[in-house]
């Protein structure tokens, strides 16, 4: 087979490798999650994450080739996340990519993690967790809402490598807020899926939380006030009120989730109106949220809306490989001297060739 790209993603706590065709079909999508390792700490511990990446990297690389039914000799290029992310985690992926590229004489492309999320709607195939989720005619340009544990941004996507951030969180990311509120309620980690499930049983009108109104204008987000309001409420009422068997617990989860969804969708509506775009992609771990999916379909009628399948929303290497394949030479080439960039900016990391110079 020709034109296959091997993707490698290790920016946070998922060790992932995938084999993707030139047409963005994922032939494999291997992921080793570290959720259990970090669960007792209520969040990702960077040192533990990099050690787990080291242990998982080679078995996951082998699994990606095996699942795709190919050998390394069938691969034409490697695409790897170069930033942003945790330094120790990124290093494991980048050094693996460089070593494989050197030994097997393959070009290595450096990919921006959030740009890969933005491109994720175009990945398809059984290994990607679904088919037919892309609305007919969905293509560039579009507006992307990237919502995860590390990012909450509104991005104008003109082309795979022409991305412009028009709104971002000024404090916590939406996923981070989910994880922190889940910790306050003693729910466990990661908090997003747990709150999502609990919220479905609760009354979202029981607790009224004011939505952050930012003076900075634009399309920015803020979630730390909401998290503090919930911390105060739990403190005032006493944690016993929110014990597992109490209906207040589900009502609080539902009220919190409604506030987050309202903030996200209000900004999307404003941005769609101001840019004149009629296409919106919601990507990143929080895009798995069932409440957000339902509310978006209801509030954004007439908008061509895409939520990739959950496997493509949370961190994965298929989206990294697919973007690498789409950009080809236009993605910056990673040399043996190229380093990770924990703060790689979206504009810098996707402008054609920019990474070559970095
Ligand atoms: O994209 P991702 O796997 O990693 C980052 O790049 O951060 O996103 C992980 C985040 C976590 O904060 C997790 O709580 C959140 O996505 N998440 C959810 C749901 N599933 C995962 N948040 C809300 N609802 C969900 N169903
Ligand atoms: Zn991510």
Report CA(283)–ligand 2 centroid distance (Å).
Answer: 9
Helix (H, G, I), strand (E, B) or coil at 145: strand
Q: How far apart are CA 277 and CA 149, in angstroms?
A: 26
Least distant ligand from the CA of 49: 1
Q: Residue 105 region, left (φ>0) first, then alpha (ψ -120 to 50), else beta? A: left
Kindly indicate the confidence band of residue 210, based on its pLDDT and cuts at 50, 70 and 90: confident
Q: May I ask the CATH architecture of the domain 142-307? A: 2-Layer Sandwich (3.30)
Q: Which of ligand 1's atoms lies nearest the C-alpha of 182?
A: 14
Q: How far apart are CA 186 and CA 238, in angstroms?
A: 13
- Is 355 a residue whose pLDDT tops 60? no
Complete DSSP assignment for 114-139: HHHHHHGGG-BBGGGTBSS-SPTT--
What is the reported pLDDT for 43? 81
How much is the average pLDDT of 21-28?
96
Top-level class of domain 4-133+312-357: alpha beta
Q: Which of ligand 1's atoms lies nearest the C-alpha of 190?
A: 14
**Ligand 1 proximal residues by C-beta, below 6 Å:** 12, 148-150, 175, 178-179, 190-193, 196, 284-286, 288-289, 314-315
Q: Residue 34 region, left (φ>0) first, then alpha (ψ -120 to 50), else beta? A: alpha
Place of tokens 């903030």: 263
Report CA(19)–ligand 2 centroid distance (Å).
Answer: 18
Q: How far apart are CA 8 and CA 44, in angstroms?
A: 19
List the residue whose alpha carbon is closest to atom 22 of ligand 1. Answer: 192
What is the reported pLDDT for 358? 39
pLDDT digits (tens, 9 = 90+) for 90-105: 999 999 999 999 999 9
Kindly indicate the confidence band of residue 357, based on its pLDDT and cuts at 50, 70 and 90: very low
List the residue whose alpha carbon is closest to atom 18 of ligand 1. Answer: 192
Q: For the chain, what are the domain ranges?
A: 4-133+312-357, 142-307
């Amino acid at each position: 087979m020709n034109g296959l790209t091997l993707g490698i993603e290790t920016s946070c706590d998922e060790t992932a490798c995938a084999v993707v065709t030139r047409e963005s079909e994922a032939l494999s999508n291997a992921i080793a999650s570290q959720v259990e390792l970090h669960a007792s700490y209520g969040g990702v511990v960077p040192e533990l994450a990099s050690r787990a990446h080291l242990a998982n990297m080679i078995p996951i690389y082998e699994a990606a080739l095996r699942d795709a039914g190919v050998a390394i000799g069938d691969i034409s290029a490697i695409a790897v996340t170069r930033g942003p992310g945790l330094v120790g985690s990124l290093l494991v992926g980048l050094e693996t990519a460089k070593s494989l590229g050197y030994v097997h004489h393959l070009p290595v492309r450096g990919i921006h993690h959030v740009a890969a999320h933005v491109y994720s709607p175009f990945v398809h195939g059984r290994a990607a967790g679904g088919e037919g989720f892309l609305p007919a005619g969905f293509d560039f340009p579009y507006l992307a809402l990237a919502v995860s544990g590390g990012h909450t941004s509104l991005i104008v996507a003109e082309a795979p490598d022409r991305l412009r951030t028009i709104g971002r969180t000024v404090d916590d990311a939406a996923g981070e807020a989910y994880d922190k509120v889940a910790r306050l309620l003693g729910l466990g980690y990661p908090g997003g899926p747990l709150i999502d499930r609990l919220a479905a049983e609760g009354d979202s009108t029981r607790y009224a939380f004011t939505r952050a109104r930012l003076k900075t204008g634009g399309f920015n987000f803020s979630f730390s006030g909401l998290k503090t309001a919930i911390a105060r409420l739990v403190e005032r009422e006493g944690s016993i009120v929110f014990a597992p068997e109490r209906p207040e617990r589900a009502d609080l989860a539902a009220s919190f989730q409604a506030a987050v969804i309202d903030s996200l969708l209000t900004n999307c509506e404003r941005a769609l109106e101001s840019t004149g775009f009629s296409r919106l992609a919601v990507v990143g771990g929080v895009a798995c949220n069932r409440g957000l999916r339902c509310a978006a379909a209801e509030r954004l009628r007439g908008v061509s809306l895409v939520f990739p399948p959950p496997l493509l929303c949370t961190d994965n290497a298929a989206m990294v490989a697919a973007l690498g394949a789409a950009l080809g030479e236009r993605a910056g080439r990673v040399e043996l001297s190229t380093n990770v960039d924990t703060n790689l900016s979206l504009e810098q990391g996707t402008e054609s060739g920019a990474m070559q110079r970095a």
